[in-house]
Amino acid sequence: MLASAVAFLLRNLISALMLSVGASTTIAGLRATWSQRSLVWRALIVLILGVPALALATAAVLPLDGRPAHFIVLMAICPGTPMVFRSFRDRTLLVALIAIVGLVAPFAIWAWVSLLEHVSPIHLHLATHAVARTALEQLLPLAVGVALASTLPRVARAIARISWYFFAIALAFAIVIALIKGGRELFTTNGWSIVAVLVMVAGSIALGQWAGYPTRESQRLVATMAVLGNPALAVAVLASTDPGFRPGALFFAYLIARAVFLFPYAQWSKRWTHHGLRVVEIGV
């Protein structure tokens, strides 16, 4: 029952977040991201190709047990990261990236799963319709929010605020449940698994820094997306492999570890970004 509640909560908190993000962005704002198309392309290269390739290399080089290797590769091939920070919520670039990645993700996951069958001992069975349904569940609230922001801005602002608070409350419950279910696993897991997570976080941050250059805030945005991935899509892939799958301790432990290792970068990059803005203001 608890696992079912967690899965239900995860789906709904992501929908609430996507509605809040979409309701903060207009269609005109999305059109303006065309001037940042080179950045978008670099971000897609990182999210669709770079992070999965890093995961495959990590799983091949480090002496990992079967399940940790599976989770590292699985989370890497599921792009999107709807789990964004509040400071990114109003960025039209974020909406554009989530929309494009959400459309591409089912095809990218299918391609990676097919490739894994030939080049890796990690094998996953994929029900494409399950992944596509999960991607649609994330994209639909985003599209509704953008439509509201473009036609009924006052209503959209209220909905964005309410859905954000719902997301924040639901996320707090999800974090508590994740800590309860995954905390012990995190402290008892194999040391090489921790090393693998560190490698993935550091490598993903480096790729995100490259993709987001030269804007510091864009670097922080893409790096965060690269690290966090899309847990809901990963659950959909695992559920298609094992119809009875429910997120377990190791799954939550991996989510916790990535968030913990990302935290120092998030704090440093936020100060770094604000310092850069102050320098620009002084220069002006």
In the prediction, which pLDDT does 147 show?
92
275 contact partners, CB below 8 Å, separation of at least 6: none
Q: Are residues 221 and 91 in contact, defined by beta-carbon separation less than 8 angstroms?
A: yes
Dump pLDDT digits (tens) for 148-179: 999 999 999 999 889 888 888 777 777 777 77
Spell out the domain ranges in the chain: 2-283
246 contact partners, CB below 8 Å, separation of at least 6: 3, 4, 6, 7
Query: Which residue, 100, 110, 98, is CA-closest to 15?
Result: 98
Peptide bond into 214 cis (omega under 30): yes
Q: How far apart are CA 71 and CA 76, in angstroms?
A: 8
Tens of pLDDT along the chain (284 residues)? 556 665 666 667 778 888 888 888 888 888 878 888 888 899 999 999 999 999 999 988 888 877 778 888 888 888 876 555 555 555 777 778 888 887 888 888 888 888 887 777 776 666 667 777 778 878 888 899 999 999 999 999 999 889 888 888 777 777 777 777 666 666 666 778 888 888 999 999 999 999 988 888 888 888 888 888 887 777 777 766 666 556 666 677 777 777 788 888 878 877 765 554 443 333 33
Length of the chain: 284
CATH, domain 2-283, list 1.20.1530.20, 2.60.40.1120, 3.40.309.10, 3.90.1150.10: 1.20.1530.20
Check: pTM over 0.85? Answer yes or no: no
Dump pLDDT digits (tens) for 224-233: 888 888 877 7
Tokens of 134: 């999960």
Helix (H, G, I), strand (E, B) or coil at 125: coil
